[in-house]
Amino acid sequence: MQMHKILSNYILDGEAISVNEYGNGHINKTFLVTTSNNAKYILQQINGNVFKNPEDVMRNIELVTDYIRTKVALSNQDSSRAALEIVPTINFSNYFKTKDSYWRCYKFINGAKTYEQIENPRQFYQVGKAVGRFQRHLKDFPIEKLAITIPDFHNTPVRFQKFLEVASEDRYNRGLGVFNEVKFIWDRRHIMGIIMELLESGEIPYRVTHNDTKLNNVMLDEETDEAICVIDLDTVMPGSVLFDFGDAIRVGASTAAEDEQDLSKVKLDIELFTEFSRGFLEETKDFLVPKEIENLVNSTIIITLECGMRFLTDYLDGDKYFRIHRENHNLDRARTQFKLVSEIEKHKDLLEQIIKSLL
Ligand code: ADP
Ligand code: GN1
Ligand code: MG
């Protein structure tokens, strides 16, 4: 399907004059559309292999973004950049379907940017505010309205079972090279269930969670670096706030890229951990329950371990899920995650003290 055919389903401000691939996501395909009136849009093809019900994904996004915008407007604040804004098709739908693909279009959020790596700690304080504010805005959202678009997305024990299955099948004969990684995961099997057990026992509440709070999904003001909003809302679902805290630290407080091959570069930046936590807790400490706060540091270990396990599972399964750009890319990604887990474990007591000091 040609791009202009897809775009013909949208009323844009001007004629589309360029469409270029944009962003660094592992799942969807993202394009920046620029028009003759210099208006910009984000056009995305939703990955149908990952999202089996794109209609549900889009309904979740519409519900959550409308709710946030209303909440911000009611508090007399500028809501224009408070959340993603879906551009409807000429048939008033929030997505466009071709024979074999789903597309959606967002207004471009002007004057804001995302980072692949933090440049100064103040930025990560603002990222903490953005992630915390997302929680605060949605704390009274009627959660039963949200569809579960990927079941067990952050159910680490279920991810572990899937990993064991794929590793024991070893259909691509890659298992021999990953003994250390398998042992690393196995040795931590007893901590994997902590968050799910707290959710299931009711000790912590289900909340609207973003579930993919990595750094390049948070927009900051281009000039002031102030928190604007979190984007990439495909995985918004009921979950634990701990998923969002853990995932944000996993990416933003690491001293190296997710796919760094030199593992000696992968450490946890304690100052970045502190700054994010400070921003996050400023927005959330009034309503989080004690068990959530007590498990913030645990969540960084569990979610980082889970992500590494997902990369390793995909490597052993022939790289079908995460887009790769080189041989062994998913293995490299898994290794950075495990290195980061050991770094967090080393500093666990200090991190717990930091959280206490911020309350
Ligand atoms: P992916 O699933 O590929 O990660 P994202 O939705 O995160 O897709 O978009 C990729 C990048 O495009 C983001 O990191 C951000 O820089 C930019 N982007 C996405 N949506 C918008 C938007 N509405 N306005 C401005 N930039 C955006
Ligand atoms: C994927 O789409 P993207 O790149 O923002 C993945 C996340 C992982 C992340 C790892 C739907 O996110 O869960 O944490 O890669 N998204 C999905 O970088 O699986
Ligand atoms: Mg993204």
Choose the final residue of a domain: 62, 82, 110.
110
Containing domain of residue 44, as a range?
Answer: 3-110
Q: How far is CA 290 from the centre of its chain?
A: 24
Same domain? 141 vs 67: no
Q: Contact, 336 vs 261, CB < 8 A? A: no
Closest CA to 281 of 349, 203, 356, 341: 356
Q: Which atom of ligand 1 is nearest to the CA of 106?
A: 23
Provide the number of structural domains found in the chain. Answer: 2
- Find tokens 């967002």 and name the residue: 106
Please, which residues have CB less than 5 A from ligand 3, an ion? 25, 217, 232
Same domain, 78 and 191: no
Choose the final residue of a domain: 54, 79, 110.
Answer: 110
User: Cα(307)–Cα(191) distance, rounded to whole angstroms?
Assistant: 14
Q: What is the 3-state secondary structure (H, E, C) of the chain?
A: CCHHHHHCCCCCCCCEEEEEECCCCCCCEEEEEEECCCCEEEEEEECCCCCCCHHHHHHHHHHHHHHHHHHHHHCCCCCCCCCCCECCCCCCCCCEECCCCEEEEEECCCCEECCCCCCCHHHHHHHHHHHHHHHHHCCCCCHHHCCCCCCCCCCHHHHHHHHHHHHHHCCCCCHHHHHHHHHHHHCCCCCCCHHHHHHHHCCCCCEEECCCCCHHHEEEECCCCCEEEECCHHHCEEECHHHHHHHHHHHHCECCCCCCCCHHHCCECHHHHHHHHHHHHHHHCCCCCHHHHHCHHHHHHHHHHHHHHHHHHHHHCCCCCCCCCCCCHHHHHHHHHHHHHHHHHHCHHHHHHHHHHCC
- In this structure, the answer to whether residues 155 and 203 fall within a common structural domain is yes
Amino acid of residue 251: V
Q: In a structure prediction context, what are the per-residue pLDDT tens digits for the chain, which is 359 residues long?
A: 578 899 999 999 999 999 999 988 888 999 999 999 999 999 999 998 899 999 999 999 999 999 999 999 999 898 999 999 999 999 999 999 998 899 999 999 999 999 999 999 999 999 999 999 999 999 999 999 999 999 999 999 999 999 999 999 999 999 999 999 999 999 999 999 999 999 999 999 999 999 999 999 999 999 999 999 999 999 999 999 999 999 999 999 999 999 999 999 999 999 999 999 999 999 999 999 999 999 999 999 999 999 999 999 999 999 999 999 999 999 999 999 999 999 999 999 999 999 999 99
One domain, residues 238 and 312: yes
pTM (predicted TM-score): 0.96
Q: Check residue 331 and give its pLDDT.
A: 98
225 lines ligand 2 (CB under 6 A): no
281 inside domain: yes
**Ligand 2 pocket member 235 (CB < 6 A):** yes
- The answer to whether 336 and 267 are in contact (CB under 8 A) is no
Q: Are residues 96 and 168 in the same domain?
A: no
Residue 219 alpha carbon to ligand 3 centre in Å: 11
Note the ligand closest to the C-alpha atom of 84. Answer: 1
Distance 47 CA to ligand 1 centre (A): 14
Position of tokens 């707290």?
Answer: 198
Q: What is the pLDDT of residue 1?
A: 56
For residue 288, is it within any domain? yes
Residues 129 and 245 in one domain: yes
d(CA 29, CA 25): 8
Please indicate, yes or no, if residue 67 is contained in any of the structural domains.
Answer: yes
Nearest CA to ligand 1 atom 10: 23
Among 100, 63, 98, 101, which Cα is nearest to 84's?
A: 63
Q: How many CB atoms lie within 10 A of CB 274?
A: 21
Write out the two tokens for 3: 């791009």
Q: Do 11 and 127 sit in the same domain of this protein?
A: no
* Nearest protein Cα to ligand 2, atom 8: 212
Give me the pLDDT at residue 325, please.
95
Cα distances from 1 to residues 32, 48, 354, in angstroms, run 17, 15, 52
Instruction: Give, for ligand 1, the residue of 42, 102, 149, 218 to mutate: max count of ligand atoms closer than 8 Å to Cβ.
Output: 42
Instruction: Give the number of whichever ligand sits closest to the CA of residue 322.
Output: 2
Rounded to whole angstroms, the Cα distance separating 236 from 149 reads 8
Ligand nearest to the CA of 323: 2
> What is the atom index within ligand 2 of the atom nearest the CA of 321?
19
Q: Which residues line ligand 1 (CB under 6 A)?
A: 22-23, 25, 27-28, 30, 42, 84, 106, 108-109, 114, 216-217, 231-232
**Judgement on whether residues 76 and 224 belong to the same structural domain of the protein:** no
Ligand 3 centroid – CA 8 distance (Å):
25
- Among protein residues, the one with the nearest Cα to ligand 2's atom 5 is 25
Residue 116 lies in a domain: no
Q: How far is the CA of 190 from the centre of ligand 1 (A)?
A: 36
**pLDDT score, position 124:** 98
User: Is 50's C-beta closer than 6 angstroms to any atom of ligand 2?
Assistant: yes
* Ligand located closest to 57 CA: 2
- The reply to whether 334 and 225 lie within a common domain is yes
pLDDT at position 280: 98
Closest CA to 88 of 68, 67, 66, 72: 66
Question: Whose structure tokens read 């739908």?
Answer: 93
Same domain? For 55 and 161 the reply is no
Residue 10 lies in a domain: yes
Which residues, other chains included, contact 265 with Cβ-Cβ below 8 Å and sequence gap of 6+? 255, 256
Q: Is the distance from the beta carbon of residue 258 to the nearest atom of ligand 2 less than 6 Å?
A: yes
What sign results for the dihedral spanned by CA atoms 270, 256, 152, 282?
positive
Tell whether 115 is covered by a domain.
Answer: no
Q: What's phi and psi for 20, nearest 5 deg? A: -130, 145
Q: What pLDDT score was predicted for residue 314?
A: 98
CA dist 26 → 249, 322, 325, 344 (Å) = 18, 5, 10, 25
208 lines ligand 2 (CB under 6 A): no
Q: Same domain for 39 and 156?
A: no
Give a yes or no: residue 18 inside a domain: yes
Last residue of a domain, one of 86, 110, 134: 110
CATH assignment at residue 331: 3.90.1200.10
Q: How far is the CA of 235 from the centre of ligand 2 (A)?
A: 9
Q: Ligand 1 mean position to 86 CA, how many Å?
A: 13
